[in-house]
Amino acid sequence: MTRTEIEEKVKAFLIDDLEIEEENIFPEAKLKEDMGIDSLDYVDIVVIVEKNFGFKIKPEEMTKVKTLSQFYDYIESKVG
Amino acid sequence: MAEKKWEGTTYGNGLMHRWLIRLLSVIDTRVIYVLAYVFAVTPTLLKPGFRYAYHFFHERLGHSVLQSLWMAYRNHCLFAQAVIDKFAMYAGRHFDIDLEGYNHFLNLAKQPDGFVQLSSHVGNYEIAGYSLVAEKKRFNALVFFGEKEEVMNNRQKLFTHANINMIPIKPDMSHLFEINSALANGETVSIPADRIWGSQKYVAVKFLGREAHLPIGPFQVVAIRGVDVLTVNVMKTGTRRYKVYVTPLPYDKTAPRAKQIEEMAGNYIKELERIVSMYPTQWYNYFDFWNQ
């Protein structure tokens, strides 16, 4: 899966499933501060990532992911 | 609004708890009840909790001033009994349990999918709520991480051989992932749905004639995984008797997420109103639930 495909899939579920405004979705966006993602949303993300990318997120690995760009990097490291 | 952050810690320290358990293993609980009314309940009459209880009976349930004062006192005595009964259970005492709606639990327990049990701060969930375990389906109970060590140790002793796992709420939110994993593995998860735990987001409901806010978390967890959900309330009906009310919460799993949550929350609060109308003095949310 290419980086672009990853970014498009992530953007789609952020908008459709987590109802995040498109203007808040940019690579440098901080997940909590800019996109308003809270602890419950992380559960959603775990389930959605599993469905869309076929791997289980380990919670301890997500603690280091602060921005959207880092989130793309993380997924790329798992599916690339 | 149910904005009171769930801190769920039992009054007292480890030494007090250990002594209480020792006493309860040899002394009738009724003796401890009376001691509690004098030494534990009376001092609380001047505390904010008593005021909230009074307002609950006077403004929400429409009782007169004197009646509300009496019911608030009775409510505090029953709360003391609930705490003592919990320790009596740790001491090995048994209670007679009547069940209503148990077939709903059994039906879900038979299926391979996980499901959620929602509880409330009414009655005494710990007496029997954790007893609804299925042999092959592990039961996970969400508990407050800061709960006193003695209580946690005694819970652990009771739970270990009963296929019950405790999921403590932690600041790093790892409990949310544990809940998700448990449901994905086809297990049962028990969650209180009337206190904040992990997210400030809420869903508005009408409860006893006035708008209240419930934490969105429990309903969102159910909707994320698309599992079935029950409410379980355990109410005191006698000195050594409790009745468990198990009620399914139907919701349209194909509806948009927000609608699912709204439907579940509406059904949850409807059931809570039914329970509170039957047992008004066993309501134990001692804070401004309606954010008045």
Same domain? B161 vs B224: yes
B114 interfaces chain A, CB cutoff of 8 Å: no
Indicate yes or no: CB of B198 within 8 angstroms of CB of A59.
Answer: no
Pair (B171, B46) in one structural domain: no
B116 with B78, same domain? no
Query: Any CB–CB contact under 8 A between B221 and chain A?
Result: yes
B75 close to B276: Cβ distance less than 8 angstroms: no
Q: Which chain A residues are within 8 Å of B170, Cβ to Cβ?
A: none
In a domain, B230, yes or no: yes
Total structural domains in chain A?
Answer: 1
Residue B201: both structure tokens together: 């987001």
Does any domain span residue B209? yes
Q: Residue B120 CB: number of other CB atoms within 10 A?
A: 24
CB contact set of B65 (below 8 Å; sequence gap of 6+): B58
On the question of pLDDT at B4 being above 60, the answer is no
Question: Nearest chain B Cα to A18, which residue?
Answer: B257
A12 touches chain B (CB under 8 A): no
Report field, pTM of the whole predicted structure over 0.95: no
Residues 6+ apart with CB under 8 A from B225: A47, B114, B180, B183, B184
B165 in the same domain as B242: yes
B39/B105 same-domain check: no
Closest to B208 (Cα-Cα) out of B277, B132, B282: B277
Residues of A in contact with B6 (CB under 8 A): none
pLDDT tens readout for residues B253-276: 999 888 999 999 999 999 999 999
Regarding whether B120 and B79 lie in a shared domain, the answer is no
The parent domain of residue A56 ranges over 3-79
State the average pLDDT for chain B: 86
Domain final residue, candidates B52, B75, B90? B90
Task: Flag whether residue A59 sits within 8 Å of chain B, measured between CB atoms.
Answer: yes
Which of B173, B200, B216 faces A42 most closely, judged by CB atoms?
A: B173
Out of B65, B90, B115, pick the residue that ends a domain: B90
Neighbours of B94 (CB within 10 A): 8
B166 and B117 in a common domain:
yes
Q: Is the pLDDT of residue B244 over 90?
A: yes
- Tell me the residues of chain B between 249 and 288 that have a Cβ less than 8 Å away from chain A: 257
Q: Which residue in B241, B290, B18, B286 sits closest to B149, CA to CA?
A: B18
Nearest CA in chain B to A17: B257
- Among B90, B89, B88, B96, smallest CA distance to B28 is for B88
Measured between beta carbons, which residues in chain B are less than 8 angstroms from residue A44? Answer: 220, 224
Indicate whether B123 belongs to any domain. yes
pLDDT mean by block of 10 residues, chain A; 80 residues:
92 88 92 86 86 86 88 90
User: Across the interface, which of B173, B224, B225 has its CB nearest the CB of A39?
Assistant: B173
Judgement on whether residues B75 and B209 belong to the same structural domain of the protein: no
Number of domains in chain B: 2
B130 pLDDT exceeds 80? no
Which string of b and e fits B45-63 if b means at least 16 CB within 10 Å? eeeebbebbbbbbbebbeb
B219 plus B182 within the same structural domain: yes
Cα dihedral: B280, B281, B284, B286 (round 10): 100
What ipTM describes this predicted complex?
Answer: 0.73
The domain boundary residue, chosen from B57, B90, B123: B90
B2, part of any domain = no
Q: Is residue B1 part of a domain?
A: no
Task: Kindly determine whether residue B177 and residue A39, on different chains, have CB atoms separated by under 8 Å.
Answer: no
Residue A67, domain CATH: 1.10.1200.10
Please judge whether A40 and B201 are an interchain contact, meaning their C-beta atoms are less than 8 angstroms apart: yes
Which of B253, B244, B246 is closest to B271 using CA atoms? B246
Would you say residue B3 lies in a domain?
A: no
Looking at the structure, do residues B67 and B103 belong to the same domain, yes or no? no
Claim to verify: residue B145 and residue B186 sit in the same structural domain: yes
Q: Is the pLDDT of residue B144 over 80?
A: no
Whether residues B143 and B252 share a domain: the answer is yes
State percent of chain B over pLDDT 90. Answer: 51
Examine the pLDDT at B112 and tell me if it is beyond 90.
yes
Task: State both tokens at B118.
Answer: 């929602």
Which structural domain, as residue segments, surrounds residue B124? Answer: 96-279
Please state the rounded mean pLDDT for residues B96-116: 93
Residue B111 lies in a domain: yes
- Whether the per-residue pLDDT at B131 is higher than 80: the answer is no
Whether residue B176 and residue A40 make contact (CB cut-off 8 A), yes or no, is yes
Residue from A38, A51, A58 to probe the interface with B (highest B Cβ count within 10 Å): A38
